[in-house]
Homo-oligomer: A and B are copies of this chain.
Amino acid sequence: MTDPQSTHDIEAVFREKGIPFTRQRRLIWDHFAGADRAATITEAADALRSDGVGQATVYRTVTLLSDLGLLARVQDRRGEICYTAPPIGHSHPLICGVCRKLVRFEGDGDVKELEARLAAETGFSIYGHHLEVYGICAKCREAGRG
């Protein structure tokens, strides 16, 4: 389990690539990185509207952050697309399907082994995988929302 990357680190990533880290981008990043649960783009846009961040900018920035690998896409039990930061190294999300609380874990050993086996068996050259585990967190279960 890893900690979210701090805003400070992110600024460095942007600077390194020569991409401006604007006020809007900071706000959007903070919205996702500052939460321990995944959020939808709509939620972020709603929350940041009063800060003068347009929804087009939220979409653009989420795409940008995703491309940089700083934001990962997950989905809750109803299939809604949410984003969460950040998939450092190679962790995977364990998501509460109800409140979208998110815990990251490392499960790469298991999967790497599997990938090697599959490559040998199928002739595919593996370039990635996607693993999400879904559950109901203790809080939601106790609240009877499970």
Contacts A94-B122, A105-B118, A118-B94; is A134 near B127 (CB within 8 Å)? yes
A4 at the interface (CB under 8 A from B): no
B138–A134 touching, CB < 8 Å? no
Interface string of A102-131 (1 = CB under 8 A from B): 010101001101110011011111111111
A130–B128 touching, CB < 8 Å? no
A97 at the interface (CB under 8 A from B): yes
Please tell me the size bucket of the interface on A.
20 to 34
Residues of B within 8 A of A111 (CB): 110, 131, 133
Residues of B within 8 A of A125 (CB): 135-136, 141, 146
Residues of B within 8 A of A110 (CB): 110-111, 113-114
A94–B124 touching, CB < 8 Å? yes
A residues 57-115 touching B (CB-CB < 8 Å):
94, 96-97, 103, 105, 107, 110-111, 113-115
Residue of B nearest to A95 (CB): B124
CB distance from A36 to the nearest CB of B (A): 12
A137 at the interface (CB under 8 A from B): yes
CB distance from A130 to the nearest CB of B (A): 5
Q: What are 7 A-B pairs with beta-carbon distances under 8 A?
A: A94-B122, A105-B118, A105-B121, A107-B114, A118-B135, A124-B137, A128-B133
